[in-house]
């Protein structure tokens, strides 16, 4: 069942999303060669708790297994759900940080792929295309369209640029629960899936691979990696469907303020 949110609920979700956006920027300050991914996790957890929130992923249960950390930190060929640990970041790495927060009964959820220093032109293009695909999807989140319009727009942009969208993991509704109906795939066709209505709050989150779309799960039971070892990128916003179109409730603005303009995906310096 898809829960339509009241304005009061949308403001609660917005507050949680705002804290996620500030947390991602706080983490971004610490991304550098030589840093262990568990250090980023500690920064995020402390920041969230200082601001009255709870890490949404820590203890999150899937099939009897509990996720052990505040952030998902996924490096290079890791797509999503990487567990922060002893891994040391190296110059040129792609680091996808996914953060979820519970604040006063409502959830926020957002992800951003950072570069450690600088990286190859092809990796930079991967990040740019994934970022652009997110906004292509968001543009389609208008009343009368379906969830399929979102996925189709994301898939078209990604494949036109020679990359592939992950099929096994999808976006989702969000609100009183971290993951709600409907699933929001990053592929599909216009007209497929539930019809979009004002008051729906959706996490739209393209995961894009340089090589094959196929993925596998590491032995740790969580970390999703590309089947061919190619690098992957991930961006995520929470939006609310409004009569006049999608309104974005999460924000990359704090990250944008922090990073040098030349390290931002194309178009971002212009202010999303």
Q: How far apart are CA 43 and CA 214, in angstroms?
A: 32
Q: Least distance from C-beta 161 to Mg ion, angstroms?
A: 23
Q: How far apart are CA 128 and CA 263, in angstroms?
A: 10
User: Residues 162, 208: contact at Cβ < 8 Å?
Assistant: no
Interface with Mg ion (CB under 5 A), residue from 26, 41, 93, 98: 98
Provide the residue count of the chain: 272
Q: How far apart are CA 263 and CA 259, in angstroms?
A: 7
Which residues, in sequence order, are CB contacts of 15 under 8 Å at separation 6+? 103, 104, 106, 108
Binding residues for Mg ion, rule CB under 5 A, total: 5
180 binds Mg ion (CB under 5 A): no
**Is the Cβ of residue 31 or residue 169 nearer to Mg ion in the bound state?**
169
> 122: which 2 tokens?
């092809």
**Is the Cβ of residue 86 or residue 169 nearer to Mg ion in the bound state?**
169
Q: Which stretch binds Mg ion (CB under 5 A): 44-52, 96-104, 160-168, 211-219?
A: 96-104
203 binds Mg ion (CB under 5 A): yes
Q: Which stretch binds Mg ion (CB under 5 A): 10-18, 109-117, 186-194, 256-264?
A: 109-117
Q: Which stretch binds Mg ion (CB under 5 A): 50-58, 92-100, 121-129, 207-215?
A: 92-100
Question: Torsions phi, psi of 100, nearest 5?
Answer: -125, 145
**Is the Cβ of residue 137 or residue 191 nearer to Mg ion in the bound state?**
137
Q: Which stretch binds Mg ion (CB under 5 A): 121-129, 157-165, 199-207, 221-229?
A: 199-207
Q: Least distance from C-beta 33 to Mg ion, angstroms?
A: 25
**Positive or negative torsion for Cα 77, 234, 183, 194:** negative
184 binds Mg ion (CB under 5 A): no
Interface with Mg ion (CB under 5 A), residue from 9, 26, 109, 132: 109
User: Residues 178, 100: contact at Cβ < 8 Å?
Assistant: yes
Q: Least distance from C-beta 125 to Mg ion, angstroms?
A: 23
What H or E segment, with its residue span, contains residue 138? Answer: helix 121-139
233 binds Mg ion (CB under 5 A): no
**Is the Cβ of residue 91 or residue 158 nearer to Mg ion in the bound state?**
158
Q: Which stretch binds Mg ion (CB under 5 A): 89-97, 104-112, 219-227, 242-250?
A: 104-112
Q: How far apart are CA 119 and CA 115, in angstroms?
A: 7
Task: Output Rg (C-alpha) for the chain, integer angstroms.
Answer: 17
Nearest alpha-carbon partner for 163 in 114, 226, 208, 206: 208
Interface residues with Mg ion (CB under 5 A) are 98, 109, 111, 203, 236
């Amino acid at each position: 069942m898809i829960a339509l949110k009241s304005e009061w609920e949308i403001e609660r979700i917005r507050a949680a999303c705002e804290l996620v956006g500030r947390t991602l920027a706080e983490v971004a300050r610490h991304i550098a060669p030589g840093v262990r991914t568990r250090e980023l996790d500690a920064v995020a957890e402390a920041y969230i708790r200082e601001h009255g929130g709870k890490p949404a992923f820590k203890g999150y249960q899937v099939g009897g297994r509990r996720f052990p950390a505040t952030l998902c930190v996924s490096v290079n060929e890791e797509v999503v759900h990487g567990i922060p640990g002893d891994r040391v970041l190296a110059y040129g790495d792609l680091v996808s940080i996914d953060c979820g927060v519970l604040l006063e009964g409502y959830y926020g959820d957002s992800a951003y792929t950072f570069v450690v220093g600088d990286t190859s032109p092809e990796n930079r293009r991967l990040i740019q295309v994934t970022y652009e695909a997110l906004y292509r999807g968001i543009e389609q989140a208008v009343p009368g369209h379906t969830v399929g319009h979102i996925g189709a727009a994301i898939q078209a942009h990604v494949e036109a640029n020679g990359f592939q969208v992950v099929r096994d993991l999808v976006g989702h509704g969000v609100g009183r629960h971290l993951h709600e109906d409907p699933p929001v795939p990053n592929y599909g066709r216009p007209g497929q899936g539930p019809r979009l209505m004002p008051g729906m709050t959706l996490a739209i989150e393209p995961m894009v691979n340089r090589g094959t779309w196929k993925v596998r799960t590491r032995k740790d039971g969580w970390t999703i990696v590309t089947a061919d070892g190619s690098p992957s990128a991930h961006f995520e916003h929470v939006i609310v469907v409004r009569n006049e179109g999608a309104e974005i409730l999460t924000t990359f603005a704090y990250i944008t303020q922090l990073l040098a303009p030349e390290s931002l995906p194309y178009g971002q310096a212009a202010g999303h």
